[in-house]
Chain A
Amino acid sequence: MRFTKDHEWVEVAGDIATIGITSYAAEQLGDVVFVDLPPAGKAVKAGEELAVVESVKAASDVYAPVSGEVVEANSEVAEAPETVNATPEGGGWFVKLKLSNPSEVDALMDRPAYEAFLATL
């Protein structure tokens, strides 16, 4: 699993990247009440807005950590947003992307680097 400074995670299997928000992000947001996910087929570039996650308090943007085309949005988080808080780095994933530039993944942090980054916050 790889991570961004905006607290997204990416897990790659073949040319498909599963993307979600980290446990840290989920805890900071608090109770998630709505997730606005992109439709399948949408093309996104790394750094662009991918989804919006709404807690009781506020709406927060989720950025695409890598470029690609959305192949699946997680209907479970759309129907049961609390899944994001329960298992942010598992069942609470947001979308699966077909990678258009797999080398972008290499630029992201690995877990020790992300944890070191969290320690600076």
Chain B
Amino acid sequence: MSDEALNTTPLTQAHIALGGRMVPFGGYSMPVQYPEGILKEHLWTRQNAGAFDVSHMGPSFLELNAKSGDGEADHRAIAAIAETLVCGDIRGLKPGQLRYTLMLNEAGGVIDDLMIGRPLQPGRQGMLYVIVNAGTKDGDFALIEKAAGEKARLIRADDRALIAIQGPKAAEVVGAIIPGALDLGFMQFRRIDLDGAGLVVSRSGYTGEDGFEILVPAIGGAAFWDRLLADERVKPIGLGARDSLRLEAGLPLYGHDLDATTSPAEASLAFAVSKRRLRDQDFPGAARVARELGGEITRRRIGLKVLGGPPAREGAEIANAAGEVVGTVTSGGFGPSVGGPIAMGYARPAYAEVGTQMKVIVRGKPGDAEVVAMPFAPHRYFRKAQT
């Protein structure tokens, strides 16, 4: 792809001014790192707060065309449309709740992993906040529009700025700028007006840290970014550290750790499959998912700690202690907070047990590895007590 064909975000000029090294990613020109480099950016996020441009992703709103005015009925109607595509419980979302879910094909393979939220405000029921991945968004949006038919409309918001701020100091930073943001617990969101601009603020992210993802109108995006960075606790963080942070957090990356052939059970994402919907078998690929969750499964996503030697990266073979190849690494690298190489990949279920001694084959040489529980670095989400 030539540079001319790459999309920009409302923050592209800001990245260039900060010395960001721009690379093509998901059809966009994005900063892979800033001058301090991936290692320092990663560690800064774990200790302070990092600001990430994730505007390349696909935020959108799915809204009923004809609302009844009964908030519960309108939510059920819009949820029913979304549930034709995903395996999660959308109907059961509480107002203001956000959920990680999976869009599946008829074979039970993952088309995308995404977030779906139900608005908090009574006047906004019958709408869902839907955030899909950058590389898959055109296909996802087409599927959503097809499912919506004449009943609902999809409003793309991927021309806006979507900014993630992550790390143990993110709450202090965001709380000082956005009134009401600290009322949110992990996986809650709400619309908040700031200086006349409507923001959508969620307490979520993909680093394993506490933090927020904030959707900002395009025109105010750069000013909001600058305002975050004016706080000395905040540094800009590129895609390189975003990847090492999410790897340490044990979170799968679509197109690498998940694709159209992997199922929720294989991907060790059973938590994303609704029990009600599994019982009712009312989502695409439900038969396969039920079978696999019942134990008929040929591979599982596992975490590996590489014990000395080079990092095992995507494509490296995983072998058992006897040297027989039993799987493949789907993403791997050096974990700066772990202090060594880590990987995730798929292997036959017999090898999924924590503590199993394995090998990873890097450049033809087997290196020792051990199956470990994910996340590799502990999650530090801010969960509010249930009220």
User: In the bound complex, how far is the Cα of B367 from the Cα of A52, in angstroms?
Assistant: 15
Which residue on A lies nearest to B339, using beta carbons? A33
Residues of B within 8 A of A33 (CB): 39, 311, 334, 341
User: Which of B30-38, B157-165, B223-231 is found at the contact surface with chain A?
Assistant: B30-38
Question: Of B33, B243, B309, B341, which contacts A30 at CB under 8 A?
Answer: B33
Whether A59 contacts B38 in the complex (CB less than 8 A), given A34-B341, A36-B363, comes out as no
Contact indicator B363/A52 (Cβ below 8 Å):
yes
Residue interface bits A41-61, CB-to-B below 8 A is 1, else 0: 000000000001011111100
A11 on the B face (CB < 8 A): no
B24 on the A face (CB < 8 A): no
A72 on the B face (CB < 8 A): no
User: In the bound complex, how far is the Cα of B311 from the Cα of A55, in angstroms?
Assistant: 9
B305 on the A face (CB < 8 A): no
Whether A59 contacts B313 in the complex (CB less than 8 A), given A30-B33, A31-B39, A36-B363, comes out as yes
Which residue on B lies nearest to A29, using beta carbons? B37
Residues of B within 8 A of A30 (CB): 33, 37-39, 240
Residues of B within 8 A of A54 (CB): 310-311, 334
B202 on the A face (CB < 8 A): no
User: In the bound complex, how far is the Cα of B37 from the Cα of A33, in angstroms?
Assistant: 13
Residues of B within 8 A of A58 (CB): 313
Whether A34 contacts B311 in the complex (CB less than 8 A), given A56-B244, A56-B334, comes out as yes
Q: How large is the interface on B (under 10, 10 to 19, 20 to 34, 35 or more residues)?
A: 20 to 34
Residues of B within 8 A of A57 (CB): 32-33, 38, 240, 243, 333
Residues of B within 8 A of A36 (CB): 310, 363
- B12 nearest CB across to chain A (Å): 21
Residues of B within 8 A of A56 (CB): 38-39, 42, 240-241, 244, 333-334, 336
Contact indicator B244/A59 (Cβ below 8 Å):
no
Whether A31 contacts B310 in the complex (CB less than 8 A), given A52-B363, A54-B334, A57-B32, comes out as no
- B353 nearest CB across to chain A (Å): 28
Contact indicator A34/B37 (Cβ below 8 Å):
no
Contact indicator A59/B240 (Cβ below 8 Å):
no
- B167 nearest CB across to chain A (Å): 18
User: In the bound complex, how far is the Cα of B310 from the Cα of A59, in angstroms?
Assistant: 9
Residues of A within 8 A of B240 (CB): 30, 56-57
Residues of A within 8 A of B334 (CB): 33-34, 54, 56
User: In the bound complex, how far is the Cα of B339 from the Cα of A31, in angstroms?
Assistant: 13
Residue interface bits B121-138, CB-to-A below 8 A is 1, else 0: 000000000000000000
- A26 nearest CB across to chain B (Å): 11
Residues of A within 8 A of B311 (CB): 33-34, 54, 59
Could you say which of A30, A52, A55, A57 has the most chain B C-beta atoms within 10 Å of its C-beta? A57
* Chain B residues within CB distance 8 Å of chain A: 32-33, 37-40, 42, 240-241, 243-244, 309-311, 313, 333-334, 336, 341, 363
**Cβ contacts A to B, 7 pairs, < 8 Å:** A33-B311, A33-B334, A34-B309, A54-B310, A55-B38, A56-B241, A59-B313
14 other A-B residue contacts (CB within 8 Å) besides A30-B37, A55-B38: A30-B38, A30-B39, A31-B39, A33-B311, A33-B341, A34-B311, A34-B341, A36-B310, A54-B310, A56-B39, A56-B240, A57-B38, A57-B240, A57-B333
